[in-house]
Amino acid sequence: MSSDRTGKTAVPEVMRAVRQHEPGGNLVYETVPVPHPGPGEVLVRMQASPVNPSDLALIRGNYLARTYPFVPGLEGSGTVIRSGGGLMAGLRLGKRVACSPDPEGDGAWAEYMKTSAMRTTLLPGNISHEQGSMMLINPMTAMALIEMARAGNHRALVNNAAASALGKMLIRLAGKYRIPLINIVRNEKQVTELREMGASHVLNSTDSSFESELQRISHELKATLFLDAVTGEQSSQLLRAAPKGTTLVAYARLSGDPMKVDPASLISEMKQVVGFQLGNWLQTKGILFKLRLVGRVKSHLDGALHTRIHKRMPLEKAEEAILEYKNNMSAGKIILTME
Ligand SMILES: NC(=O)c1ccc[n+]([C@@H]2O[C@H](COP(=O)([O-])OP(=O)(O)OC[C@H]3O[C@@H](n4cnc5c(N)ncnc54)[C@H](OP(=O)(O)O)[C@@H]3O)[C@@H](O)[C@H]2O)c1
């Protein structure tokens, strides 16, 4: 990266970015102006950004409101090369950061992203840009869900879509915190993979005995926190099998289907269904709690919260990257690279 005569990193007038021009429309790789950070904001020279299920939902047009055209990419990493003013933004200047876009702002699938300094976090020296680019969504969520289990004194947990990057983090964290975890996947290859990772309880939701096995093990282990990323019909199965007093946490809707819940189980068995979204959950927490959580996440990024990378692809191949990712989500993350 070159510098100008004042020693500042030179910033071009224009950059390459991936943009979508209408809900559900194609992704276009095009030249657009480099944004200028305002007070409290920074400009990040982007290095890497993963493709996550939330990106797919955003591109489909059924998650978070957007003004078109917009740049997708809900998290990434890079180096702060401009501050728009303010203490926090100034402190970030020249630093490697993990970053996420402002709620209605352009995202990370571009050479440069403007965002609030508050939406950046410093990357420790031992963490690569690639791992750092995936820090703010899944590792934070995995730690938050474990925190929820510990705060609620749940003796054991259930999680589905468990061959996901997040599911694998939960397996390692649950092992670390000695919380028994029942994992649900949807094929035998995933059962084998999770068993090889050391998971003790892995159920295949396509087995005919799935529901009765889930009922047996969850009662035996007294698992009263069910983490549900699939929802739809699977939520009904989970609620039928769950012990009395269970809380089912809907944290994604991978099936795309509406949830059907038998009110009898809520009324007579004191079960409850709640929603979880990381950003909303964090808003209920104080600054010290959040700083501690981020610190814990950073300390586990090269261990329990490590993310497997399936493939690296340049930004201009974003469309191809999405297809590849959809074909084999459990294989690991596809990372879009900007250099
Ligand atoms: N609420 C929040 O704040 C929050 C935060 C972070 C993540 N999440 C959610 O957590 C989930 C995991 O995220 P990730 O990035 O770790 O995912 P990922 O690594 O991309 O993997 C996605 C997983 O979902 C499975 N899957 C996809 N569609 C499914 C379906 N209809 N039924 C059952 N399994 C299905 C895939 O299995 P196959 O390989 O068999 O397709 C794969 O194992 C996502 O749904 C994401 O949106 C929510």
Q: How far apart are the first and last CA of the chain?
A: 11
Q: Supply the pLDDT for residue 64.
A: 75
Closest Cα to residue 310, out of 292, 296, 287, 327?
Answer: 327
170 Cβ below 6 A of ligand 1 = no
Check: CATH 3.40.50.720 for 138-280? yes
AA letter at 34: V
168 Cβ below 6 A of ligand 1 = no
Question: φ and ψ at 90, to 5 degrees?
Answer: -65, -40
Give the helix/strand (H/E) hosting 250: strand 247-250
CB atoms within 10 A of CB 178: 6
Measured distance CA(236)–CA(13) in Å, rounded: 53
In the chain, domain spans = 14-134+308-337, 138-280
Whole-model pTM: value is 0.95
Q: Which residue has the tokens 């070159």?
A: 2
CB atoms within 10 A of CB 232: 16
Q: Supply the pLDDT for residue 2.
A: 55
Distance of CA 326 to the CA centre of its chain: 16
Measured distance CA(336)–CA(241) in Å, rounded: 40
166 Cβ below 6 A of ligand 1 = yes
Closest Cα to residue 336, out of 300, 309, 297?
Answer: 309
Q: Structure tokens of 249?
A: 């946490």
Contact criterion met (CB below 8 Å) for 157 and 179:
yes
Check: CATH 3.90.180.10 for 14-134+308-337? yes
174: helix, strand or coil: helix
Q: Structure tokens of 290?
A: 């959040």
CA of 53 to the centre of ligand 1 (A): 6
159 Cβ below 6 A of ligand 1 = no
Q: Supply the pLDDT for residue 324.
A: 96
Measured distance CA(73)–CA(319) in Å, rounded: 13
262: helix, strand or coil: coil
Which protein residue's CA is at the shortest distance from atom 21 of ligand 1? Answer: 164
137 Cβ below 6 A of ligand 1 = yes
Which protein residue's CA is at the shortest distance from atom 2 of ligand 1? Answer: 277
Atom nearest to 255 CA in ligand 1: 31
Per-residue confidence in pLDDT tens, the chain, 339 aa: 555 555 677 899 999 999 999 999 999 999 999 999 999 999 999 999 999 999 999 999 877 778 899 999 999 999 999 999 999 999 999 999 999 999 989 999 999 999 999 999 999 999 999 999 999 999 999 999 999 999 999 999 999 999 999 999 999 999 999 999 999 999 999 999 999 999 999 999 999 999 999 999 999 999 999 999 999 999 999 999 999 999 999 999 999 999 988 898 899 999 999 999 999 999 999 999 999 999 999 999 999 999 999 999 999 999 999 999 999 999 999 999 997
